[in-house]
Amino acid sequence: MQRLYYALDLKDDAQAIAEYERWHRPGVVWPEIVASIRASGIEDMEIFRTGNRLVMVVQVGDRYDASVKRESDTPDEKTQAWEHLMDRYQQRLPWAEAGQKWVPMTRIFSLADALKAR
């Protein structure tokens, strides 16, 4: 089991942020999106917000492959419609690569590792 972390900003607009949060409430996210996430090998996913910054935590199993997920999402009309809808609220990080929404984060500290090193 592996955990992956990603960051993305929302547009700095209170109404847009509230709408984005509404779209992510249980029962509101389109069932096809939830099914697509699970089918890709993602076992759990959480999104946290502070201000307009989002952090997504993704727990994946051994069969998860991000490139396979991207390839399967590209022709999927429902996924593309969801991504288009979410784009209304999202704002790319200044250091994101062209076409990149969620930017992978790098762990810089682990308490467990620090304790082992003592």
CATH 3.30.70.1090 fits 2-117, yes or no: yes
* pLDDT for res 111: 97
Q: CA angle, 46 as apex, 43 and 51 as ends, to 5°?
A: 165
* pLDDT for res 1: 87
* pLDDT for res 110: 96
* pLDDT for res 14: 98
Instruction: List b or e across 24-51, with b for residues whose CB sees 16 or more CB atoms inside 10 angstroms.
Output: eeeeeeeeebeebbeebebeeeeeeeee
* pLDDT for res 25: 98
Rounded CA gap, 51 and 65, in Å? 31
Tokens of 40: 């890709």
pLDDT tens across 58-115, in order?
999 999 999 999 999 999 999 999 999 999 999 999 999 998 999 999 999 999 999 9
Which residues contact residue 81 at a Cβ distance below 8 angstroms, ignoring those fewer than 6 apart? Answer: none
**What average pLDDT is seen over the chain?**
96
